[in-house]
Chains A and B, each alone.
Chain A
């Protein structure tokens, strides 16, 4: 352990401090910080086989979990792809990578960069996760519900494209207009569209697939529940029960 710590000190020209956290585990105090000013949590140990490992001992996922959970297949996929792309592994919450005296400088820089990237996953909510929501919903509809000949971006009221539905699915003679809802503004649009279909006395059924029903403001939940015929509270729920629902229809 002494050897690699000397390498670390010389590599960082003394700008990195070290402290033994536990026997055989040394914490590295590198001036790389999270947005709230806390230092990236970084540790090094030598395993029984002599191999050195960098580890965050679960601190990155714990920190992320204050506001964000890796609790869906999409999020897990993104998390795992970040680990794989950067050559890191997860071990019961701890993010780790092997290192050597020769590569320690590059490995520390690489490791902390990836931890910071994972720590910023909470910002992926809008840019990545939501687009994946639409993407995965589309994939499911175009494959598992293909027998019902789904059509995308339909206009149930002729000439009124402001009341467009995301999909039309026909499990029987009646068109089912499906809305993918990821936030309050989309929930309101779906509510208004359903009310307008009713006002125009269309013969239809409305189906809403939520990204996360529980995250909608309560009033939006109530308005949409009153206006539509059927809701699925999440994409996973729709994937599990969507086809049986249309089969029954």
Chain B
């Protein structure tokens, strides 16, 4: 399959529905986690979502979206919202909230890791990042409310046009 930036963006933002619910957080190996699966609402594309939070350092977290092209063995990490866990080769200053994106150029050269990184101020905690994530990947509102309800008092935090 040939990937373009447009296709990757389309995969990131196409409307999605939950087909395997995240359930409660599980704690194992020093982190807590949730895994869940989604389909695009047109039933064409399968995705895997995850949240991870380090138990020692709660600010070290990642919330990610994997595209699972069932005809291929490789999954593509479309998006990962990270906490300020440490340095990055592309970020001069350490310890900033940042988002990893996969690019078509890297996939074409066989580099299957999302090395395009952008610093963000769109979230400032693990729970904020989850809210930002489910909005960014266009999870249907019903599933957002059911599986990822915003913490009390934050209902309107991400209801802006720039999200």
| A interface residues (Cβ-Cβ under 8 A, vs B) | 17, 19, 21-22, 27, 29, 31, 33-39, 41, 57-59, 61-63, 65-67, 70, 92-94, 126, 183, 217-218
Contact = CB atoms under 8 A, between A and B. Distances in A.
Interface string B18-33: 0000000000111101
A108 B110 CA distance: 30
B94 A29 contact: yes
Contacts of A31: 89
A29 B54 CA distance: 18
A22 B111 CA distance: 35
Interface in B30-88: 30-31, 33, 50, 52, 54-57, 60, 62, 64, 66, 70-71, 73, 75, 77, 80, 82, 85-88
Contacts of A41: 60, 85-86
Q: Which 9 A-B pairs have the closest CB atoms?
A: A58-B30, A93-B30, A93-B29, A39-B87, A35-B113, A36-B113, A62-B31, A37-B89, A57-B56
Given A59-B54, A217-B71, 4 more contacts: A19-B94, A36-B113, A37-B117, A38-B89
B87 A29 contact: yes
Interface residues of B, number: 36
B94 A17 contact: yes
B1 interface: no
24 contacts: A19-B95, A31-B89, A33-B89, A35-B111, A36-B115, A37-B89, A38-B85, A38-B88, A41-B60, A41-B85, A41-B86, A58-B29, A58-B54, A58-B56, A59-B85, A61-B30, A62-B30, A62-B31, A66-B50, A66-B64, A94-B30, A126-B73, A217-B70, A217-B71
Contacts of A38: 82, 85-89, 100
A183 B73 contact: yes
Contact of B77 (A17, A29, A67): A67
Contacts of A33: 88-89
B114 interface: yes
B29 A66 contact: no
Contact of A66 (B52, B60, B117): B52
Nearest to A38: B88
Contacts of A19: 94-95
Most chain B CB within 10 A, of A35, A36, A217, A218, is at A36
B37 to A, nearest CB: 11
Contacts of A183: 73
Given A66-B62, A94-B30, A37 B90 contact: yes
Nearest to A217: B70
A35 B115 contact: yes
A38 B77 CA distance: 15
B31 A93 contact: yes
